Structure 1
Amino acid sequence: MTALLAWGQLRRRPAGFAGLAAALLLAVAAVTTFGALLGAERGVPAAESRATGGPGVVLIAGAFGEITVLVAFFVALHTLGFALRHQYRDLALLRTVAATPRQVRRLLRAQTGLVVLAVAAPGGLLGTVTARAFLDGLRHRGLAAPHARIAGTAPVVLAATAVTLLVATAAATAAARRVTRPAPAAALTGSTGAAPRTGALRPVAAAAALAGGVLLLRLAATRPAAEVDKSAQATLLGSLVLLAAVALAGPPVVRLPALLLGAAVRAVAPGTGWLAAANQRGYAHRLTAAAVPVALLTGLATTMATMTATARHAALAAGAPDGATSATDVWLRQAELGLLAAFGAVATLTTLVGLTAERRRELALLRLVGATRPQVLRTVAAETALTCAVGLLLGALVTAAATAAFSTAALGTPLPVVPLGTCARTAAAAVLFTVPTTLATAAVALRGPAVAAATGAPA
């Protein structure tokens, strides 16, 4: 019975689970990729493995895997929350007709499990192709044995599916508290369960994440110059933990930058800017949910770019011939950045589309009080630009702290080599990615009569 209900919800609301499916597909692919690489040199003579340069395939796969898998599951947790929001009222209605919290949690776990099973095959195939392409790149650069190969990935795909299923179902259990915690009647009165009251656990978790991030950056800063790779991994992991601390802290962190940047928006566009800034102040949870993925995407990109530029400068200063060592590091970091950017893009896209689609009634009310369709779209564009600016600022602060630690280890100074052009292009790409996406979703939400949308009638 639970499986039938879960399948019915998936068929009824496929768009609501699209972001979750993309995140879980990437999670299966990431675990498959690095799991397959761990066994790539099995059977290769030890002398041949020792003859390769660099840290070796196992260490590279382990370093990539610990970062990428952590981001994958962070994004999966985020997208799972939006899958729950799309069916919040349906789940609340189930509770009013005598479904117990345990049954609701079981239903959500079944939904998540079905999504994992649906993406397991394509995720495993993507992971296998990526592992082979990555291994070819490692062999070409002399970082893997010539006879290393990817073979027999079926057990790895099964293990990747099991790991993803375990974490995803645990996340579903945690996410279910939003609909099972309040009384059934109270849950039914909320449309999406948005803006939940922050409990005592989140500030404690945010403080713990902040302390962990600071310790990791301290570890990165104290590595000797000869261990720049270890410093880079500690720096990247520390930046991820700091971004998790920002997400856990929630509205208290974003209110001040939103207030400062909102004043700038009001100065540039007094009418539209005032309404956009007021909306952001009134919906701090919504602002946090949208700004954190932008901070994740841009913060990781600028951190990686700045570390690469700093490492290259350190290699040249040490007299490396033509920067050869740095060129290999650059390639590895670019590959890692590509994987992380894919997860960040999924989180950002899912968040912006989900949050904007939920505002159909709110946007319709603006039209009913006299705002034209172009005016509403301009307001949404201003809000998105403000949200993007808040995310960029948060990402920049994390980048500054992380790269200062890395530069201390690599150059002996907390002032890193900042590639201004790359950082500017990253910020521009974030704006070009978020604003059109939000405007397109808002244009769809504005379709149809405003009265029907304001009363909650189907589009």
Structure 2
Amino acid sequence: MHLLRRAGATPGQLRRMMVGEASIVALAGAALAVWPAMLGGRALLDRFQDSGQVASGVDHVFGPIALGSGIGITLFASAGAAFLAVRRGTRTGTRSGRSAGPARNVAGYAALLVGAAGVCATFTMNATDNALMAAPAYGAILLSVGFAVLSPLLLRALLGRLGRPITALFGASGYLTVLNLRRRAAELSAILMPLILFTGMATATLYMQAVETSAITASGVVKSVEDKTLETLNLVVVGIVVVFSCIMLINSLYAATSYRGREFGQQRLAGATPGQVLRMVGCESLILTVTGILFGTLAAIAGLLPFTVVRTDTILPDQGPGIWLTIIAVAAAATLTTSLATARRTLRTPAVAAVTVAA
């Protein structure tokens, strides 16, 4: 965008170009999603009918309301995001990777405040209330959002305390890792956001649903239609969010690592070996994974513990760490595999060629 501005393009021309591109991509993506959406809706209806939550005579209908809402939301979100990105990128003096400013931090703190209020509201409810899960679940989600928005600040704070131990442990690769993470903290928030959301939302919702199911079973009460519906919807929503977060995480990692070809080439020309660069990327991914899992888990625990106390009169759930270990295993595998595989592929280009082409 800066090159186009220097070539004579006006901010209005850039906005129209980028918003137009985003709208075309959104329409193409929405068109490709129609057939999977029809199949998914039919499968969900079959699941409801098999469990007795919906009458067998109800037919699956995919009409203009579903189609219009899906395409409309996708188009609005894509065009709106492109407009905001271009507006920020075309401002005078704006540099790539610059922080979004105090407004973003205010939004993050507000999400933390509202999330904490939702978690605390759990203690004002009874164990048999139908909406008991809503307050801690939404509170955990908002806490995850707050941590995700404030991820650049959180990452810098962790590096301030762990910078020297990382350098001592990993040597030259650790030193490069700390420097890169401090310099690119704002850019790396695009990776930490889906990682924190994935960990926090999946952990909180799955554990709460497991606690609720165990409590109903222990009481000897047969699950009602409302209980089955709530369980199914929780699993569907969590599944959609988890899959979307994983895809977003993988895409962000691939893009962030692929665009560092010139940086890797400069480091190799300065004396770093391909192995050191690869270890640096692995160390960065490890730190990002630990950071995302840490704050995502904190958000989940903040919502899970009040729910468990009110629902079962115990502090910790009886399900054990199996669900959490599975979640962090998926998060770590997605992060480390994507970043290392992309870096290895990028390093195949000779250092001189990488610097020359990228320049």
TM over 0.5: yes
1:38-437 to structure 2, matched below 5 A, reads 91-183=1-93, 193-194=96-97, 196-228=98-130, 230-260=131-161, 262=163, 265-266=166-167, 268-320=169-221, 330-417=231-318, 419-437=320-338
Change (3 A) 1:288 1:156: closer
Tell me the distance in 2 between the aligned counterparts of 1:330 and 1:374: 48
- The DSSP-based 3-state class of the residue aligned with 1:227 is coil
**Amino acid corresponding to residue 120 of structure 2 in structure 1:** R
Q: Whole-Å Cα distance in 1 between the matches of residues 207 and 65 of structure 2?
A: 38
Q: Quick check: 1:265–1:386 contact (8 Å CA) kept in 2?
A: no
Specify the code of the residue in structure 2 equivalent to 1:370: G
> Contact 1:261–1:386 (CA<8 Å) still a contact in 2?
no
Change (3 A) 1:168 1:234: farther
Contact kept in structure 2, 1:221 and 1:407, CA below 8 Å: no
Give me the whole-angstrom Cα distance separating, in 1, the residues matched to 2:177 and 2:161. Answer: 13
Determine helix, strand or coil for the equivalent of 1:364: helix
Distance 1:274 1:335, change over 3 A: same
Moved more, 170-179 or 248-257: 248-257
The SS at the match of 2:128 is helix
Residue type of the alignment partner of 2:220: G
Q: Deviations over 1:368-412 (max 9, x none)?
A: 122222221122111111111111101111111111232243224
Aligned residues of 1:363 and 1:376 also touching (Cα < 8 A): yes
Q: Which runs of 5+ in 1 are unaligned?
A: 1-90
TM-score for the superposition, normalised by structure 1: 0.71
In the alignment, which residue of structure 2 is the partner of 1:442?
343
TM-score, length-scaled by structure 2: 0.89
Q: Deviations over 1:138-160 (max 9, x none)?
A: 11111112212212424421232
The 1:335/1:371 distance shift into structure 2, 3 A limit, reads same
How far off is 1:118 after superposition?
0.7
Measure the CA separation in 1 of the matches of 2:71 and 2:40.
Answer: 16
Check conservation: 2:52, 2:225, Cα contact below 8 A. no
**Distance of 1:264 and 1:403 partners within structure 2:** 32
- 3-state DSSP of counterpart to 1:181: coil
Aligned counterparts of 2:294 and 2:141: Cα–Cα separation in 1 = 16
**Secondary structure in 2 matching 1:419:** coil
- How many Å separate the matches in 1 of 2:33 and 2:177? 39
| Structure 2 Cα separation of the partners of residues 266 and 316 of structure 1 | 51
Paired AA for residue 97 in structure 1 = A
Q: Give the residue type in structure 1 aligned to 2:83.
A: T
CA RMSD across the alignment: 2.7
Q: Is the 8 A contact 2:149 2:193 kept in 1?
A: no
SS of aligned partner of 1:447? coil
Counterpart-to-counterpart distance in 2, 1:418 and 1:276: 37
Alpha-carbon distance in structure 2 between the residues aligned to 1:415 and 1:124: 42
Cα distance, 1:128–1:315 mapped onto 2, change above 3 Å = same
Deviation at 1:313, TM superposition (A): 3.1
Amino acid across the alignment from 1:132: R
Is 1:139–1:146's contact at 8 Å kept on the other side of the alignment? yes
Q: What is the DSSP-based 3-state SS (H/G/I as helix, E as strand, rest coil) of the residue aligned with 1:182?
A: coil
